[in-house]
Structure 1
């Protein structure tokens, strides 16, 4: 069996699956149950200054798919609403009882050096393995100069990270907000401040739905609502992209990454790891399905690694990064054409409608008295856009077949059709 243990930014854990800083990690009771279920580590729900913040009711809403499947999850909950003393005491005891698990403490404090200088020794005294700086909360507490109000200003990110490295000997992980134009900028700032790692993504500003009877967004608090933090499977593509951007940025290449955003099974985790994540954090999936999902995650990842010949997480961490590039470097001479497996086709016509109405009219609908409907690809018209494959309800029925163009690799910076080709190739 593959070895799932990790050594992330100086922090050891029996597996890469950590619970993210959120309601599931708000108290010892939850964290102990998570460790009993097999989670490799937790990021304790964000601590802040006393007096603790006051939360509202209700706090969650969701974006649903068919059959009420939760695609996206929205919350307007703040950081821990329990006292600092209680949290520190529980962190100390849990770490003492579970010394082999990663215990990371999330912190959110004002942009005041004295505040950070005061809290850091207290956290270090708990025996925790590291701290995570919450620079991403998109709602609430801006009056204290915290959350995304900090994470969106690279100078603040660098400044606070440097304070933490000065007053604390624990590994410092900086949690980045996705509510920013270029995720590489705060990552570079964190590294400049001495960060040992970054974690991403934090939640995305969102309103999931409107109650059209009451004319108020959800979640409803009395007769009002507000934007919240969006997470769950819907944010995974955004998170993967941002992880990849940092992993392939020359300025941050090699910086340890903890992947967060829509991870619900072993395959999701493997994708984040392939793009450079050395650990992965889970929240929404655990809230929807409970802590026991980690059994399938560990078993599935281990079995897949065995089939691929990977003995450890490090063996495939970042293996997809070299193949991730800018659009201008893609091969302009590469071509694929759709192929329909007639034996698997159920003649639903979805590929035809999608291509005929919204794409390149490259699928023919043939109707015969003997066989009814039949769909065939017009090879000369197909541009290989993948739309038919995406709309097809039968997995594997439509495949994209590479064509031999007889032409060598040529990217857009070299393409004579590019009016700025010479300038781009020199840049």
Structure 2
């Protein structure tokens, strides 16, 4: 049976599933219930200076799919609204009662060295396993010079990280904001400041939807609203890309990554780990479905690892990174063509409409003159292998993309004679 235990920047955990810093980890009661359910660790909801932050009501909104499935989740909640003393006391007790579980303490303070120097020994005294610097919160706190206001300025990231490393022996994890042009810049700064790891992504600036009668966005606070932090399954593609960017950047390669963003099942977790994450953090899925989801996550990941022959997490961590590259290095001579399995086809015509109206007109609609029955066939000469038909088909596996033997060798864009700057690009790569 696969071993799910991990070691992340020197911290041992019974499994890679941690709860992210958020409402599910805001008090001892929640954290204990999470540990009882089987979570390997938690990142305690972000602590700050006293007096504690004050939250508004209401705080959450959502972007829905069909049947009110929550695709994206938005919040305008701030960091802990409980005193620093109470949080530290609870962390101390929970760690004492659960020594085999990981507790990371998330912190957010103004950019004053004395404040960071003062809080570090207090956190160490709790017995916590590590510290996460919240440089990602996109609402409420940036207006006060904290959260994303720090995370968007690499110089600040490096400066505060260095302050913390100089005042603690605990591993320091820097939580990065996605609300930035290039996430590699703050990741490099965190490493330069001595960070032991980075975690990402934090939430994305968002407005989910409006009440068109009141003409105000949700969540509504006394007839007004504001942008909040977007999370949930909808942000997973963005998070995966940013994790991969850091994992394959020569300047940050090897820097441990805690993956966050839309993780709701074992497959999501496996994808983050394959792209370089040493552990994963979960928030929205737990808020929507409860702590027990970790049981299915652990079971599913373990079964998949057994099937693939992976005995430990480390055996496939980062395994997809070498296969992730820049567009210009993709094989221009590689070609796939769509193929429709007529036995599985339900004749809905969605592939035809999509291809005919918005793509390359490479699917033919054949109508029987007698019965009126419809058949859809791919015009191989016109198909460019864009995948749109496969994506729109409601029957999984009905349309497949079949690789073609072109007889041509590998050639990327820097080598392609159709590239007017081919020679120049090739020289500078």
TM-score, length-scaled by structure 1: 0.99
User: What SS is found at the alignment partner of 1:44?
Assistant: strand
User: What SS is found at the alignment partner of 1:195?
Assistant: coil
Q: Is the deviation greater in 222-231 or in 368-377? A: 368-377
Match of 2:35 in 1: 35
User: What SS is found at the alignment partner of 1:120?
Assistant: helix
User: What SS is found at the alignment partner of 2:321?
Assistant: coil
Q: For 1:35 and 1:322, locate their aligned partners in 2 and report how far apart those are by CA, in whole Å.
A: 35
Q: For 1:389 and 1:142, locate their aligned partners in 2 and report how far apart those are by CA, in whole Å.
A: 43
Match of 1:411 in 2: 412
Q: For 2:37 and 2:372, locate their aligned partners in 1 and report how far apart those are by CA, in whole Å.
A: 55
Match of 2:319 in 1: 319
Match of 1:68 in 2: 68
Q: For 1:104 and 1:141, locate their aligned partners in 2 and report how far apart those are by CA, in whole Å.
A: 21
Q: For 2:350 and 2:230, locate their aligned partners in 1 and report how far apart those are by CA, in whole Å.
A: 31
Shift of 1:142: 3.1
Q: For 2:94 and 2:44, locate their aligned partners in 1 and report how far apart those are by CA, in whole Å.
A: 11
Match of 1:246 in 2: 246
Match of 1:181 in 2: 181
Matched, 1:106 2:106: yes
Q: For 1:154 and 1:401, locate their aligned partners in 2 and report how far apart those are by CA, in whole Å.
A: 45
User: What SS is found at the alignment partner of 1:99?
Assistant: coil
Match of 2:91 in 1: 91
Q: For 2:377 and 2:62, locate their aligned partners in 1 and report how far apart those are by CA, in whole Å.
A: 40
Residues 143 and 149 in structure 2, CA contact (< 8 A), matched pair in contact too: no
Match of 2:401 in 1: 400
Match of 1:139 in 2: 139
Q: For 1:229 and 1:135, locate their aligned partners in 2 and report how far apart those are by CA, in whole Å.
A: 13
Q: For 1:145 and 1:342, locate their aligned partners in 2 and report how far apart those are by CA, in whole Å.
A: 60
Q: For 1:143 and 1:82, locate their aligned partners in 2 and report how far apart those are by CA, in whole Å.
A: 20
In structure 2, do the counterparts of structure 1 residues 332 and 25 end up closer, same or farther at CA, with 3 Å as the change threshold? same
Match of 2:233 in 1: 233
The one-character-per-residue Cα deviations of 1:97-138 (angstroms, maximum 9, x if unpaired) are 000011000000110000001000000000000000000000
Matches within 5 A, 1:373-384: 373-384=374-385
Match of 2:392 in 1: 391
Matched, 1:294 2:294: yes
Q: For 2:390 and 2:18, locate their aligned partners in 1 and report how far apart those are by CA, in whole Å.
A: 35
The one-character-per-residue Cα deviations of 1:150-190 (angstroms, maximum 9, x if unpaired) are 00010000000001110000000000000000000000000
Match of 1:18 in 2: 18
Residues 110 and 145 in structure 2, CA contact (< 8 A), matched pair in contact too: yes
Shift of 1:386: 0.1
TM-score, length-scaled by structure 2: 0.99
Match of 2:164 in 1: 164
User: What SS is found at the alignment partner of 2:205?
Assistant: strand
**Structure 2, gaps ≥5 residues long:** none
Q: For 2:241 and 2:309, locate their aligned partners in 1 and report how far apart those are by CA, in whole Å.
A: 26
Shift of 1:141: 2.5
Match of 1:190 in 2: 190
User: What SS is found at the alignment partner of 1:322?
Assistant: helix
Q: For 1:391 and 1:144, locate their aligned partners in 2 and report how far apart those are by CA, in whole Å.
A: 45
Shift of 1:144: 3.4
The one-character-per-residue Cα deviations of 1:196-244 (angstroms, maximum 9, x if unpaired) are 0000000000000010010000000011000000000000000000000
Shift of 1:370: 4.4
Match of 1:425 in 2: 426
The one-character-per-residue Cα deviations of 1:9-45 (angstroms, maximum 9, x if unpaired) are 0111000000000000000000000000000000000
Q: For 1:275 and 1:323, locate their aligned partners in 2 and report how far apart those are by CA, in whole Å.
A: 9
Shift of 1:145: 1.8
Match of 1:344 in 2: 344
In structure 2, do the counterparts of structure 1 residues 204 and 99 end up closer, same or farther at CA, with 3 Å as the change threshold? same
Q: For 1:143 and 1:418, locate their aligned partners in 2 and report how far apart those are by CA, in whole Å.
A: 46
Q: For 1:323 and 1:423, locate their aligned partners in 2 and report how far apart those are by CA, in whole Å.
A: 25
Q: How many residues align structurally?
A: 427
**Structure 1, gaps ≥5 residues long:** none
Q: For 1:406 and 1:273, locate their aligned partners in 2 and report how far apart those are by CA, in whole Å.
A: 35
Q: For 1:102 and 1:408, locate their aligned partners in 2 and report how far apart those are by CA, in whole Å.
A: 50
> Which segments of structure 1 move beyond 6 Å, counting only runs of 4 or more?
none
Shift of 1:426: 1.1
Shift of 1:143: 4.7
Matched, 1:361 2:361: yes
